């Protein structure tokens, strides 16, 4: 029984030493990305926080850019965007470099790259999804969703029948492209 305990202790020691070698502490090793979310979803008007964890940064720097137009937003602690809603948050000694987008707008949706200026540039994409704030207003059994959709009821008349479009939309993050319900109601005789 003592022999088994000794073997177990040896195995644990070896595993710990291997882990210590693979993930060095302090200044050793080359920069690489740590685990972090690669997709962030927020409502329009809310603050989006896009995470980027860089281990063993050493003397390298972190840059955030917007992929759609290749606009450099931040480099190190400096912001290079005229849009003051963008800012990088990094605590001294931390491995986290978070791109903060205040008052996120629908046009902010897309892919953002967290990059490290190594010889072979390291890049980690983070997708930002922004959905419209939904507000509900009930008028005559019609639910309208603002600001991104406008629902109108239009009566169409013929000699014998009035056709009215009645549309009901329940709150959803993604709405179908076309919603149309037609009901036929006979016009009462005069």
Query: Which pLDDT does position 133 carry in this prediction?
Result: 72
Query: Structural domain boundaries of the chain?
Result: 31-131, 135-186
What CA–CA distance (Å, rounded) separates 29 from 57? 9
Q: Which two three-digit tokens encode residue 137? A: 């207003």
DSSP structure class, residue 18:
H
- Upstream peptide bond of 147 is cis (omega within 30 degrees of 0): yes
Fold type of domain 31-131: Immunoglobulin-like (2.60.40)
Residues of the chain under the 50 pLDDT cut: 1-26, 138-158, 162-183
What CA–CA distance (Å, rounded) separates 101 from 84? 9
Query: Which pLDDT does position 187 carry in this prediction?
Result: 55
C-alpha torsion sign, points 15, 16, 17, 18: positive
The whole model's pTM is what? Answer: 0.59
C-alpha torsion sign, points 61, 66, 70, 73: negative
Q: Phi and psi (nearest 5°) for 182?
A: -115, 130
Q: Phi and psi (nearest 5°) for 138?
A: -100, 115
What CA–CA distance (Å, rounded) separates 86 from 103? 10
Class of residue 60 by CB neighbours under 10 A (exposed 0-12, middle 13-18, buried 19+)? middle
- Upstream peptide bond of 158 is cis (omega within 30 degrees of 0): no
pLDDT digits (tens, 9 = 90+) for 13-43: 223 232 333 334 445 689 999 999 999 999 9
């Amino acid at each position: 029984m003592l022999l088994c305990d000794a073997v177990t202790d040896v195995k644990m020691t070896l595993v710990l030493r291997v882990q210590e070698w693979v993930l060095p502490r302090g200044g050793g090793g080359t920069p690489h990305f740590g685990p972090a979310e690669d997709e962030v979803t927020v409502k329009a008007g809310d603050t989006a926080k896009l995470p980027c964890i860089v281990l063993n940064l050493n003397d390298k720097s972190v840059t955030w850019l917007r992929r759609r137009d290749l606009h450099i937003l931040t480099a190190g602690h400096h912001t290079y965007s005229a849009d003051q809603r963008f800012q990088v948050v990094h605590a001294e000694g931390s491995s986290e470099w978070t791109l903060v987008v205040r008052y996120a707008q629908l046009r902010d949706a897309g892919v953002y790259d967290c990059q490290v200026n190594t010889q072979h540039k390291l890049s980690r994409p983070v997708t930002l999804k922004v959905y419209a704030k939904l507000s509900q207003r009930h008028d005559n059994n019609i639910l309208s969703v603002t600001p991104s959709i406008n629902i109108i009821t239009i009566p169409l008349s013929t000699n014998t029948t009035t056709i009215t479009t009645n549309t009901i939309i329940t709150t959803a993050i993604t709405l179908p492209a076309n919603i149309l319900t037609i009901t036929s109601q006979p016009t009462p005789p005069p």
